[in-house]
Amino acid sequence: MTSSSLSGKRALVCGASQGIGAASALALAELGATVILVARNATELVKIQKSLPGSGHQICILDLNQTEEIESKLKPLLPFHIVVNNSGGPAGGALTEATTQSLTAAFNQHILSAQKIAQLAIPGMKEAQFGRFVQIISTSVKAPIPNLGVSNTIRGAMANWAKTLSLEVGPFGITVNNVLPGYTKTPRFESLRKSTAEKNKSSESQVEEQWKKTTPLGRIAEPSEVAAAVAFLASPAASYISGINLPVDGGRTPSL
């Protein structure tokens, strides 16, 4: 049976100061990986770093919107055998009301940052004959979510970026997969719940109950449940899985 151990592997986890990113960092560390935690909030990163099992974990204070800083900040921390691309979703709103600036900013934060990180990481992955890219994106890749116009657009682009990359790096033993979270208890979830309640002139608890009803499993996910999928796809056990979108959504997405 193929091992799930990540001992000796170095994992770069973006958006690691909270939510699914922090949970993914923990899940990878529990499998034995040394984790490089990336986010803007130094205080929260230090807390996460101290909570991880194992040793040698590092932090990198980086705003993925500032793509010109990615190489200078991450290059000294190479190699990365595992990359978890995870960044905060764009603000809600209709696509018809979105500005070109908001689309450009989202493209920079998600697509360009992932591209720059990939170009840094791939040479070391090829040398190690082991590489994993896992993007945490959204179920909107399969079915667009109302009132998330910019997010739907960028998440779709991210999924196709990942699929294209998987075709190019597969011959080197590098896999590229996307995890699509459904409703998950994160700061992003709380923000969307609040804005939806304000828009519908209802309470946040009413919004959450309505969302639960649209989910076959009838509840909101814990970040650790999404992180478990991330850790599996990053492990040697998932060596023959590449180029897929994996919903972790309690069965909510209305497509296969």
List the pLDDT tens digit at each of the 256 positions of the chain: 567 899 999 999 999 999 999 999 999 999 999 999 999 999 999 999 999 999 999 999 999 999 999 999 999 999 999 999 999 888 889 999 999 999 999 999 999 999 999 999 999 999 999 999 999 999 999 999 988 999 999 999 999 999 999 999 999 999 999 999 999 999 888 988 998 899 899 999 999 999 999 999 999 999 999 999 999 999 999 999 999 999 999 999 998 8
Same structural domain, 139 and 16? yes
Same structural domain, 193 and 96? no
* Residue pair 226/181 in contact by the 8 Å Cβ criterion: yes
Same structural domain, 53 and 167? yes
Residue 193 domain-assigned?
yes
Residue 92 domain-assigned?
yes
Same structural domain, 79 and 177? yes
Query: For residue 210, how many C-alpha atoms fall within 13 Å in the half-sphere facing its CB?
Result: 10
Residue 108 domain-assigned?
yes
Residue 76 domain-assigned?
yes
Residue 75 domain-assigned?
yes
Residues paired with residue 13 on neighbouring β-strands, in sequence order: 37, 84
Residue 255 domain-assigned?
no
Same structural domain, 166 and 202? no
Same structural domain, 113 and 18? yes
| CATH number of the domain enclosing 163 | 3.40.50.720
Same structural domain, 137 and 79? yes
Number of domains forming the structure of the chain? 2
Same structural domain, 120 and 105? yes
Alpha carbon distance 248, 113 (integer Å): 24
Same structural domain, 122 and 22? yes
Six-digit token pair at 10?
């170095």
Which amino acid, one-letter code, is at 198?
A: E
Confidence at residue 2, expressed as pLDDT on a 0 to 100 scale: 64
Domain that holds residue 213: 186-220
* Residue pair 86/20 in contact by the 8 Å Cβ criterion: yes
Whole-model pTM?
A: 0.95
Residue 253 domain-assigned?
no
Same structural domain, 239 and 191? no
* Residue pair 237/200 in contact by the 8 Å Cβ criterion: no
Residue 232 domain-assigned?
yes
* Residue pair 242/177 in contact by the 8 Å Cβ criterion: yes
Same structural domain, 244 and 139? yes
Same structural domain, 197 and 74? no
Classify 61 as helix, strand or coil.
strand
